[in-house]
Amino acid sequence: MALVLPATALASPHSYRLKGKKCKHGYARKVRHVKGHRQVWCVRRKPAPHAVAPAPAGPTATQTIVTAVNSSGSPLPGQPSYISVGVNVRAAGQELNGYPVRLQIEDMTAGGAVVGSFIQPSRGHAYCSVVYRLEGPNVVFTGQAVPPDEACSLRTITVPQGHLNQISGAFAGTEKLLPSSSTPQTFYA
């Protein structure tokens, strides 16, 4: 014995038999042949796949830039000179202010020995200053304000006169920003 169901029993929540000329929005016309008769049904279209959220981006690459400008020329005995130091961290084309950058001064004539280091926040186009003066055969550097620059946080260091020095900076990074280092800037003392 075969079970015979009316045509409406073939309907599901995703389809209905077309009684007019057009299907509702979101449904497509489909022709079915039931017991030799042609029937037009409206069948729900498959929903478009949901937009997949992009995978969370990893940390952003950064660029650390250190600028050292000898602002007053070579020192004369008894007269100090100074270097303006700019520190800048950039990511995705934007300047990132307030991030700590470790700066270090190396004596390249003495094989790259680190003679001093200090931490300065990245501040775009603002500078801090390092004053230096001759004392006998040496040059003494110290962080000291020279308006409009504020003082760099460098303790007093001494290097032999005529030595080639370089200053560079390194940003340690954060959870969302990758670390970066600057290109060393060379200067003579």
- Higher confidence at residue 30 or residue 189? 30
Beta bridge partners of 81: 132
Per-residue model confidence (pLDDT) at position 39: 86
**How far, in Å, CA of 119 to CA of 171, rounded?**
10
pLDDT band at residue 79 using 50, 70 and 90 as cut-offs: confident
SS3 of residue 89 by DSSP? strand
Instruction: Give 59's contacts (C-beta < 8 A, 6+ positions apart).
Output: 173, 174, 175, 176, 177, 178
Q: E strands of the chain, at which residues?
A: 15-17, 27-34, 37-44, 63-70, 81-91, 94-96, 100-107, 113-121, 127-135, 138-143, 150-151, 157-160, 164-171, 180-181, 185-188
Query: What structural domains does the chain harbor?
Result: 13-44 (no CATH), 63-188 (2.60.40)
Could you read off the pLDDT of 17-42 as tens digits, one per residue?
Answer: 888 888 888 888 888 888 888 888 88
Per-residue model confidence (pLDDT) at position 18: 81
Per-residue model confidence (pLDDT) at position 11: 52
- Type of residue at 109: T
**How far, in Å, CA of 109 to CA of 188, rounded?**
10
The strands making up 27-34's β-sheet, listed across from edge to edge, are 15-17, 37-44, 27-34
What is the full DSSP assignment across 16-35? EE--SSSPPTTEEEEEEEET
User: pTM score, two decimals?
Assistant: 0.66
Mean pLDDT of the chain: 84
Mean pLDDT is highest, among 34-48, 67-81, 153-167, for 153-167
Could you read off the pLDDT of 122-163 as tens digits, one per residue?
Answer: 987 789 999 988 888 998 999 999 988 999 999 999 999 889
- Higher confidence at residue 56 or residue 45? 45
Q: Which two tokens stand for residue 27?
A: 């449904």
